[in-house]
Amino acid sequence: MKITIIIGSHQQDSQSHKVGKYIQHQLNERDDVDEVGMVDLGGNPVPLWDSTYWQKESGLKETLAPFMGELSSADGYVIIAPEWGGMVPGGLKNFMLYWSEKETGHKPAMIVGVSGSINGAYPVAELRHSGYKNSKIVYTPEHLIVRNVGEVMNDMDPNGGEGIDKEIRERTAHANNCLIAYAKAFKAMRETTPDLMHDDFPYGM
């Protein structure tokens, strides 16, 4: 079982990266998780999408290959989306343009909204109504909103912290349980249901 964490902030050493490292540590502690990968969009490593991606010989495709390989090898995802201007960062939406069902189809993704203050719901809402049509990714019902992010998850102890810090650590453990349950079930479903993907219908309606 492999989970890949996607850090949706373009900032280097972002708070979203900190949250991702915390979740990565908690997932790595589990016996039922073999590997936890990470794609960090800090520093903008993924170029803006353009139509050369669809050409047979494409430099863009070569650039994206390691990222697509990382997504393909995962059984589930954690998508960390900081709230920027009440939105998901553009770089994360750009990265999602490259996703297809070959990499992410019928695999669960837990959304994590992040805010430096008391916000963080907008990126959750935005992802919940977008991004799944062609990628065929499946958002889990349990999501997280890490508010006042500077004050929480500043060490790796799942039982640490006080107040909202303690609460979000406890909720994270539960959300991780749900993600792994879906990842196990969906993996079995993909293996036993080959017609989940159909060459005539790679794009949803």
Ligand X SMILES: Cc1cc2nc3c(=O)[nH]c(=O)nc-3n(C[C@H](O)[C@H](O)[C@H](O)COP(=O)(O)O)c2cc1C
Q: How many CB atoms lie within 10 A of CB 202?
A: 13
H helix and E strand count, the chain: 6, 6
Please say which residue, 43 or 86, places its beta carbon nearer to ligand X. 86
Minimum separation from the CB atom of position 19 to ligand X (A): 8
Please say which residue, 43 or 204, places its beta carbon nearer to ligand X. 43
Please say which residue, 15 or 172, places its beta carbon nearer to ligand X. 15
Minimum separation from the CB atom of position 92 to ligand X (A): 11
Minimum separation from the CB atom of position 21 to ligand X (A): 12
Please say which residue, 43 or 59, places its beta carbon nearer to ligand X. 43
> Which of 79, 141, 140 has its CA nearest to residue 114?
79
**Contacts within 8 Å (CB) and 24+ apart, 84-89:** 84/9, 86/119, 86/122, 87/122, 87/123, 87/126, 88/8, 88/122, 88/123, 88/126, 88/127, 89/8, 89/9, 89/10, 89/41
For residues 100 and 59, give the distance between their C-alpha atoms in angstroms, rounded to a whole number: 18
For residues 55 and 93, give the distance between their C-alpha atoms in angstroms, rounded to a whole number: 21
Please say which residue, 118 or 205, places its beta carbon nearer to ligand X. 118
Backbone phi, psi, residue 17, to 5°: -60, -40
SS3 content of the chain, % helix, strand, coil (to 5): 40, 15, 40
Give me the residues that bind ligand X (CB under 6 A), please. Answer: 9, 11, 14-16, 82-86, 114-117, 119, 149
Minimum separation from the CB atom of position 87 to ligand X (A): 7
Please say which residue, 46 or 180, places its beta carbon nearer to ligand X. 46
Minimum separation from the CB atom of position 85 to ligand X (A): 5
Minimum separation from the CB atom of position 175 to ligand X (A): 18
